[in-house]
Amino acid sequence: MVNKKEIARRRTFAIVSHPDAGKTTLTEKLLLFGGAIQVAGAVKSNKIKKTATSDWMEIERQRGISVATSVMGFEYEGYKINILDTPGHQDFAEDTFRTLTAVDSVIVVIDVAKGVEPQTEKLVKVCRMRKTPIMVFINKLDRPGKDAFELLDEIEQKLHLKVTPLSWPVGMGSSFKGVYNLYHRALHLFKPSSQVIEKGIQFTDLSVPQLDELLDTAAETLREEVELAQGVYPEFKIDEYLSGNIAPVFFGSALNTFGVKELLDVFVKIAPPPTGRESDVRFVKPEEPAFTGFIFKIHANMDPNHRDRLAFVRIVSGTFKRNTLYYHVRLNRKLKFASPTAFMAQKKSIVEEAFPGDIVGLHDTGNFKIGDTLTEGEILHFKGIPSFSPELFRYVVNDDPMRAKQLAKGIDQLMDEGVAQLFTGKHTGRKIIGTVGALQFEVIQYRLEHEYNAKCRYEHITLHKTAWFTSDNKPQLEDFRARKSSQIALDKEGREVFLADSPFSLQMAQDKYPDIRFYFTSEFEAED
């Protein structure tokens, strides 16, 4: 029997932001509240530096450490919270997209001075596509920044989100006095760097003179702004939030632990418990008794002598148990796991059982790739873990003829981990690696050399995009294949992709072959 109580108390989410908005700081403060860490700074040291791209050695070094922060579980007021870490470095955007498939909601952090930044736009777009409920935390109110109305406007326009503030700032920067919680109708006064969380002062009616005593001239501004805000923004309705239509907004300062507890308290109450997932045959509900789950992330071992990896499975339904045979659908094989791990309160431990919403790390010697499904025997594949058309491409060439096998194996395994995508020219047989960021090319080269003892070099290719394609019009498809044969490659699954060398050639192909549909994510069946 699935424990309904265990499902109901779980909250699995990710914090997303543009680098430097305060994701790491906020994560750390949440962990402090959960008693998962004792001192500030513990998570910080795990952060992947996001400055120069030449920092990839540093990224490599930190890769090992970041296993620990991939998933952070902790208990808070009866809730089991799982925070999934997303890489800050923009070159790892695809990792972040995939992580978003494993969460049930997200918190978006925005820097009050910088407003909505490009990476936030991209990530929120993915959340919107998936209808993931979003909460917004506007951070760094202790610094001068944009006016609250202006910022909310910007969020609505750039992120295409309807918003409703659940707290309202009183001043900002040097005149920041606190926030008024519109949800609980309480005023929280700001004290810089105070780790002590004081209970808000209840003000159901903002017209009372005590407010002027506390806030001086800022009281009148607060009254006006709250009145205006309540006129402009819709009332908060939980259903609208849960269906991804409206994002509640909070203001605070993560560094000063201000506004964080309020965010967390509202979050645990309103954020969705584990939701089910769509598969190719049916929708799988969390409360179903049989275990199902999917792999959304694979982490390579840092030790080059051990090529084992940790595959992260998100549990969708049932109860996952240690040492139990589960069915690996793609391989049509049963596997059992003697030492599944989880990170609770930053400690790695063996889990005996885990429930929907939980993330478990499975020791893997090369059986898994991203998107794999595990069940108790049912044949189904979870959807929603697509590959995206990469943005940068290079030919990969073997640089040590004696080690061709090692190179092939290395490339194969790195692709399974989702580091990049491999396409093989249908006629030329040439291998093309596609990535979202330039850094991955260096990472691949380095890892091939250090983990697989193989050498590769890259050669330039003029390539704008890869597009998967299908058509019901057989003659048109055949004509396209014949004429564009030199521009057709196979992805790792053996599916055909069109290699468009420029936006123009893509447009031409689309115009000339109107019955052929081109897709920029690999999961195009879902759109049909």
- The site for ligand G4P (CB under 6 A) is made up of 17, 19-25, 44, 88, 139-140, 142-143, 253-256
Helix (H), strand (E) at residue 179? strand 178-181
Whichever of 17 and 279 has its CB closer to ligand G4P, that residue is 17
Smallest gap from residue 19 Cβ to ligand G4P (A): 4
CB of 118 to ligand G4P, least distance (A): 14
- What is the Cα–Cα distance from 511 to 263, expressed in whole angstroms? 50
Closest CB to ligand G4P among residues 29, 447: 29
CB of 163 to ligand G4P, least distance (A): 20
CB of 141 to ligand G4P, least distance (A): 7
Residue with Cβ nearer ligand G4P (145 or 272)? 145
| SS3 assignment for 479-522 | HHHHHCHHHEEECCCCCEEEEECCHHHHHHHHHHCCCCEEECEC
Nearer to ligand G4P, 111 or 416 (CB): 111
Shortest reach from residue 98's CB to ligand G4P, in Å? 19
- 63: helix, coil or strand? helix
Query: Radius of gyration of the chain from Cα atoms?
Result: 25
Six token digits for residue 418: 């989702």
Query: Closer to ligand G4P at the Cβ: 20 or 501?
Result: 20
Which residue number, 23 or 98, has a Cβ lying nearer to ligand G4P? 23
Instruction: Between 255 and 351, name the residue whose CB sits nearer to ligand G4P.
Output: 255
Distance in angstroms (rounded) separating the CA atoms of residues 326 and 269 = 34
- Look at residue 8 and give its three-state secondary structure: helix
Which long-range contacts does 62-67 make (Cβ < 8 Å, 24+ apart)? 63/299, 63/300, 63/302, 64/302, 67/299, 67/310, 67/361
Residue spans of alpha helices (H) in 114-174 = 118-130, 148-159
DSSP per-residue codes, 71-117: EEEEEETTEEEEEEP---SGGGHHHHHHHHTT-SEEEEEEETTTBS-
Helices and strands counted in the chain (H then E): 14, 31
Q: Which is nearer to ligand G4P, 50 or 321 (CB)?
A: 50
Q: Give least dist CB 295 to ligand G4P, A.
A: 26
Q: 1: burial class by Cβ within 10 Å (0-12, 13-18, 19+)?
A: exposed
Closest distance of CB 260 from ligand G4P, Å: 9
Q: How far is the CB of 112 from ligand G4P (least distance, A)?
A: 9
Residue 34, amino acid = G
Shortest separation between residue 188's beta carbon and ligand G4P, angstroms: 14
Q: From the CB of 254, what's the least distance to ligand G4P, in Å?
A: 4
Query: Which one, of 422, 414, 412, lies nearest residue 466 by Cα?
Result: 422
Residue 449, Cα to own-chain centre: how many angstroms?
29
- Provide, rounded to whole angstroms, the least separation between the CB of residue 261 and ligand G4P: 14
Q: Which is nearer to ligand G4P, 128 or 143 (CB)?
A: 143
DSSP state of 399: S
301 three-state secondary structure? coil
The residue among 27 and 292 lying less far from ligand G4P, judged by its C-beta, is 27
Looking at beta carbons only, is 59 or 411 nearer to ligand G4P?
A: 59
Sheet holding 496-500, edge to edge: 456-460, 392-398, 431-435, 421-425, 488-490, 496-500, 465-470, 517-519
> What is the nearest approach in angstroms of ligand G4P to the Cβ of residue 119?
10
139 vs 398, beta carbon nearer ligand G4P: 139
Report residue 467 CA to chain centroid gap: 23
Residue 241: phi, psi to the nearest 5?
-70, -45
Q: CA-based diameter of the chain, in Å?
A: 84
* Distance in Å, CB of 162 to ligand G4P, minimum: 24
Cβ closest to ligand G4P, residue 49 vs residue 185: 49
Q: How far is the CB of 21 from ligand G4P (least distance, A)?
A: 5
In terms of CB distance, is 86 or 398 closer to ligand G4P? 86
3-state secondary structure of 424: strand
187 CB contacts (<8 Å, ≥6 apart)?
Answer: 170, 178, 179, 180, 181, 200, 201, 203, 211, 214, 215
DSSP state of 199: P
